[in-house]
Amino acid sequence: MGGITRGIANRLGAGGVGANFRNILINGDMSVDQRGSATGLTSDTIGNGADRFYVRVNDRNNFAFSMENSTDVPSGEGFSNSHKITTTTAETSLGSAGILRYGQRIEGNMLKGLKYGTTNAQKVVVQFWVKCSVTGTFVFELWNRKSSWYNSKSFTIDSANTWQKIIKTFDGDTVNDFNIDTSVQLEANVWWAAGTSFSSSGTVTGGDWNSDATKRAGGLSNAFTTTLNATFFTTGWQLEVGTSTSAFERLPIDVNLRRCQRYYQRVDDASGACGQYAGRSFGTTQITFGVPLSTPLRASPSVSLTGSLRAFHGSGYNDTSGSMGVSHWQKDSSIVSLESTGFSSIVDNRIYNVCHINSTILEMSSEI
Amino acid sequence: MTINITSAKYLYGEEGTKKNVEIVVDGKTWGVPMDNNNSDYKEILEWAAIEGNNITDPELSKTCINID
């Protein structure tokens, strides 16, 4: 029975719905976008346009950008979505500690198979598609966050506005391991631009794990970030053990969504009155209430409320629009207890039904 | 520091203890649990360590520089 199951999984993995989870990255096909687009961005931003992917910004002068999901994809490759980033204000004077890059932070629990820090450290290969409106040299980097060791390889976009597949292989690191836990242990990044702190030692030679940060992003042309209205599309991100790429692993959309929801979930009442929670009052301003989770969150979440929650008791009600936080969170639990001290004139120690009103959005983020 | 925190204050739980920090990031308000596994809380600790940044304590009507 087990052999039959494995056989099916292997065949599907050759190009169909392969559920063997060989892709270490999540949402590589950019099909999940829980947050939607955002513009006027000038600092670190994660998930807008495609869950799990983020833009890192440091020591910028005037770089601003937008993030959105797009249906512009490489033809005939089986993708429906890409992640589009647009330069809305061009950078003119990036600081020495400047960082403008794109990528995904990876949780330690996803990295067991790499066997880093042992003589059996595995080679990995990354693949992704990119289409940029400006040509130039970029750098793809693996960054061991535990040890602060790096491995970078450059690639060139030599034809503007043309989809191009990037493939890079990396040796395993036999020296530095990962913590196999819920914290960020590895990053997979594309550098768009870098200050001298990350580029002063010249161009990347590639292939060697090292601790010299000045070699992380040498030789960049920075053209994407210095060009107003430049666009950067990307999709098909896959990082896997091995020395050659396999077909992109296509997960069912429900599986892909659940994997993203380990890091971010939202209850958005704009699409229907789905947010109703049982609560209990403490004093005259605070109600604690349980929110069902789509899947257990990685860690106790940051909570944001857009709009108002209404607490009903008997024929009366009270509203809150803020002072939200976590009351209790437990690892692997499918419910989290939230609290708000933003209510007024409620009665102590009563049961309340807490509801979204109008277009209230409740966001819970356990991103890393 | 990687997120742009413009203000921070403690929120108290039902036991009367500090359990969350309310921060404003790029104009949006977040309640962040005081849990080291929460990456935003780590950011708050780094932010609070910078001279001039304070997490206000509305219950005590005073300003604290350190969280612990």
Q: Is A27 left (phi over 0), alpha (psi -120 to 50) or beta?
A: left
What is the rounded distance in angstroms from the CA atom of residue A212 to the CA atom of residue A101?
18
Q: Is the CB of residue A322 less than 8 Å away from at least one CB of chain B?
A: yes
pTM for the whole thing? 0.91
User: Whose CA is closest to B31, among A351, A67, A309?
Assistant: A309
Q: Which residues does chain B have with pLDDT short of 50? A: 1, 62-63
Q: Is the CB of residue A44 less than 8 Å away from at least one CB of chain B?
A: yes
User: Whose CA is closest to A219, among A193, A188, A257, A242?
Assistant: A193
Among A1-10, A270-279, B7-16, whose mean pLDDT is lowest? A1-10
pLDDT value at position B14? 74
Q: Which of residues 34-63 of B touch A (CB under 8 A)?
A: 35, 37-40
Confidence category of residue A359, pLDDT binned at 50, 70, 90: confident
Which helix (H) or strand (E) covers residue A83, if one does? Answer: strand A82-89
Per residue in A125-151, pLDDT tens? Answer: 999 999 999 999 999 999 999 999 999
pLDDT value at position A45? 95
Coil/strand/helix, residue B22: strand
Distance between B25 CA and the closest CA of chain A, angstroms: 10
Could you give phi then psi for residue A256, rounded to 5 degrees?
-60, -40
Name residue A262's amino acid: R
Per residue in A19-32, pLDDT tens? Answer: 489 999 999 999 99
Interface predicted TM-score (ipTM) of this complex, two decimals: 0.85
Per residue in A161-185, pLDDT tens? Answer: 999 999 999 999 999 999 999 999 9
8 A C-beta contact, residue A117 and residue A150:
no
CB contact under 8 A, A341 and B22: no
Q: Which residues contact A113 (CB under 8 A, 6 or more apart)?
A: A122, A241
pLDDT value at position A11? 41
CB contact under 8 A, B33 and A44: no
